[in-house]
Amino acid sequence: MPKVTIDGHEIEVSQGTTIMQATKQLAIEVPYYCWHPGLSVAGNCRMCLVDVEGPPKPQIACYTQVTEGMVVHTQSEKAKKARKGTLEFLLSNHPLDCPVCDQAGECDLQNFYMDHGQYDSRFDEQKHKKKKAQPVGENVMLDQERCVLCSRCVRFCDEITGTGELGIVNRGSHEEITVFPGKEVNNAYSGNVVDICPVGALTDRDFRFKCRVWYLSSQDSVCPGCSQGCNIRIDSNLSRPQHGEGERVMRLKPRENLNVNDYWMCDEGRYNYNFIDRNRIQTASRVKEGVVEEILFEDAVDSLASVLGDAVREQRHGRIGVLVSTQLTNEDLFFVKKFFKTNLGMDAVESRFSFPEGSSDDFLIKADKSPNTAGAQALEVIASGTYQSGEDLIDKTIAGEFDVLISFGVDIDGLLGKEKLDAILEKVTLLAYVGSNHNETSKKAQLVIPSTVYAEKDGTFTNVHGRVQRIWPAFPPLGQARPEWQIICDLSEKTGFSVSADDAESIFSEITQTVSSFQGLSYEKLGKEGSLLSTVKETVEK
Amino acid sequence: MEIPEELKKKWDEAVARYEEKRAALLPVLRLSQDHFGYISAEVEEAVAHYMGTTPVHIREVVTFYELFHTKPVGKNNIQFCHTLACNLNGCEPLIKQLKEKIGIKEGETSSDGKYSFSRAECLGACEMAPMMKINKDIYGPLDKDKLNEIIENL
């Protein structure tokens, strides 16, 4: 295995390692535009030129393989001069419209100019005019003047989606990125070309002019859009509420996890964030004499607790049904099960639904559109006795088996239609809805308790391959909303049972001690990339 | 667009000469241009379908080479060299004379479709400077009278 010395640090690397990969291992920063770890090597931007002892000219780090005894300097005068020259060429036709460019603040032309440029312009010629603000698809806006022709977006569409919508036409300084006339970048992963564009040439039409990137705060999370559980980053704006009309989430971005989603995420997941700030249930409410009235959170919990307490005392708890959504975290699910099944002794607690399947492909998009179906299975949040599924439990409610139905985030109307919901309401004395967003079920439920969305929660999801992954709260809950596990703690306290926890982590630790498939896991062990359930053998996850 | 069988057959012959299908793209495009006179968007799409790629990747190649036309060109496509040797030997007055004679500007095609005219970078016939190329034939060294005679005989 060849040894290489880079800036005085010696490192042994495997055969075929490029200088770029070796610098990454040594945490030495070499600037680049066209190189991307998830794509083939193009070697066209010339920004990663480094000084290799021996050859008279600087070499590109992304393509040059390390050989035994190679000595590389990334900070020598020769290397610096080469990078400066490259940058001068890349910027020669650039429009310098940073004040109106979305990329400003996270632009590698700006960043590298500050690190490696800092020259006075020698460019007296007329700049080439190219097309600006040209929509090239539902989600992507193209500005040809800002492009440095790194070809990352072209390679993404060729190598990752295989759809080949983008190309570089013409020659020399007239070269430009374009789509074929009448065609669009309309693949299911189009938003990724914006992420990998190192400059402001491709911007996101959804995010465009919404917020300056330096006002954003970022929190790592996991996409709740399907059972794949792609790793994401939630970018929110709390400091400038006037931008985006007070909405907190400005955009979602994929986060690297080679076990789950590489560097990518689908458009369906990327643009599925409006529910976090819109149409939220912010206060508890009840229906009194046909009129919805807002009540205190505590009163709503009291009211539900007394119904449960009475039922248990009078041995009627068999006439209570609980529907649980697999949008809930493992911690929420575990506490729901512990309280209703273990403590109250109920059978009918059910999370299995045959949801109408959504679109899917053989890459990241899964037909099961909830993030924690595998978690609910592993935790066995399923009814005992004769109940087959959530739908079965609903049919039995309509047949008169239950007096009380509590739904944790299951929109009965959305799932099975208005007729079933109305039939339930005719049979039960109480339909309680614990959830984050308004829907037809929450509007008709006699008691509503607000709960948090994933972006406000600490906890874990288990993806379709059995990988347990952390989510973290990006910001505090809206209104009175609380996580489901806390609502369970409140209910438990009022009914005299001891289901309690200080935080999600302590619940997770209880799960690892009581559920064998979670054995040996901890939040620390999950880290940023998650861990597989012990019952899952290492398999190809993607 | 429906590609005529005779052209399709020529494409197949071109592809058969290479180990990789992609390698035959330039010959396939040249055959297409010989057949249609220029490469339209429809031809690009047909070629893309035939080569198993997307149309924008065909356009990348078509727009890279000056020799491919994306618009119809005149029956006589005149390319006048204006690089060093031709320039030193006085191509500019001849270009002016040519433009006046055929009545079109650079990059244009005459309305009767008889002439197209464009300037060209070095065509590799410096010993004939100043020179021009009409379709596949080259003419030079030119002077005022020779140029007139050639154009009139077209």
- Is A176:A170 a contact under the CB 8 Å cutoff? yes
d(CA A514, CA A499): 14
- Is A148:A109 a contact under the CB 8 Å cutoff? yes
Residue A524 lies in a domain: no
Of B41, B56, B64, the CB nearest to A166: B56
d(CA A51, CA A77): 9
* Residues A307 and A338 placed together within one structural domain of the fold: yes
A403 residue type, one letter: D
Residue A532 lies in a domain: no
B144: enclosing H helix or E strand: helix B144-152
Q: Is B41 on the interface with A (CB under 8 A)?
A: yes
Sequence-ordered list of residues with C-beta below 8 angstroms from that of B16, at least 6 positions apart, any chain: none
Q: What is the CATH number of the domain that holds A200?
A: 3.30.70.20
- Is A265:A191 a contact under the CB 8 Å cutoff? yes
Residue A414 lies in a domain: yes
* Residues A485 and A349 placed together within one structural domain of the fold: yes
Domains contained in chain A, number: 3
Beta strands in A28-89 (DSSP E): 49-52, 59-60, 70-73
Q: Which of A216-230, A365-379, A384-398, B84-98 has the lowest mean pLDDT?
A: A384-398
Which of A71, A92, A113 represents a domain boundary (last residue)? A92
* Residues A88 and A124 placed together within one structural domain of the fold: no
d(CA A12, CA A21): 12
Q: What is the CATH number of the domain that holds A300?
A: 3.40.50.740
Sequence-ordered list of residues with C-beta below 8 angstroms from that of A217, at least 6 positions apart, any chain: A235, A236, A237, A238, A239, A474, A475
The whole domain housing A451 covers 284-456+479-507
The interface predicted TM-score (ipTM) is 0.86
The partner residues of A405 in beta bridges, in order of sequence, read A321, A431
pLDDT, residue A413, reads 95
* Residues A117 and A52 placed together within one structural domain of the fold: no
Nearest to A320 by CA among A304, A298, A335: A304
Chain A residues touching B45 at Cβ < 8 A: 180
* Residues A408 and A497 placed together within one structural domain of the fold: yes
Indicate whether A112 pLDDT > 80: yes
Residue A119's pLDDT band, with cuts at 50, 70 and 90, is confident
How many CA within 13 A on the CB side of residue A310?
8
* Residues A254 and A379 placed together within one structural domain of the fold: no
Q: Is B59 on the interface with A (CB under 8 A)?
A: yes
How many CA within 13 A on the CB side of residue A47?
27
Q: If you average pLDDT over every residue of chain B, what do you get?
A: 95
Cα nearest neighbour of A184 on chain B: B56
Distance of CA A134 to the CA centre of its chain: 28
Residue A30's pLDDT band, with cuts at 50, 70 and 90, is very high
Residue A220 lies in a domain: yes
Residue A403's pLDDT band, with cuts at 50, 70 and 90, is very high
Nearest to B109 by CA among B101, B118, B100: B118
For the segment A233-261, the average pLDDT, to the nearest whole number, is 93
Distance (Å) from the alpha carbon of A168 to chain B's nearest alpha carbon: 6
Q: Which of A211-215, A351-355, A446-450, B130-134 has the lowest mean pLDDT?
A: A351-355
Q: Are A164 and B59 within 8 A, CB to CB?
A: no
* Residues A242 and A332 placed together within one structural domain of the fold: no
Indicate whether A77 pLDDT > 90: yes
Which of A67, A92, A117 represents a domain boundary (last residue)? A92
Which of A92, A112, A146 represents a domain boundary (last residue)? A92
pLDDT, residue A167, reads 98
* Residues A257 and A295 placed together within one structural domain of the fold: no
R_g (Cα) of chain A, nearest Å:
28
Domain annotation for chain B: domains and CATH numbers:
5-64 (1.10.10.1590), 76-152 (3.40.30.10)
Query: Measured between alpha carbons, how far is residue B94 from residues A88, A504, B133, B154 in Å?
Result: 39, 85, 14, 17
* Residues A327 and A406 placed together within one structural domain of the fold: yes
* Residues A413 and A491 placed together within one structural domain of the fold: yes
Residue A233 lies in a domain: yes
pLDDT, residue A538, reads 61
Residue A188 lies in a domain: yes
Residue A300 lies in a domain: yes
* Residues A125 and A189 placed together within one structural domain of the fold: yes
Q: Which residue has the tokens 């945490």?
A: A27
Give counts: helices (H), strands (E), chain B: 7, 5
pLDDT, residue A68, reads 96
Cα nearest neighbour of B61 on chain A: A169
Residue A519 lies in a domain: no
Q: If you average pLDDT over every residue of chain A, what do you get?
A: 95
Of B41, B45, B57, the CB nearest to A167: B57
Indicate whether A542 pLDDT > 70: no
Q: What is the CATH number of the domain that holds A30?
A: 3.10.20.740
* Residues A298 and A400 placed together within one structural domain of the fold: yes
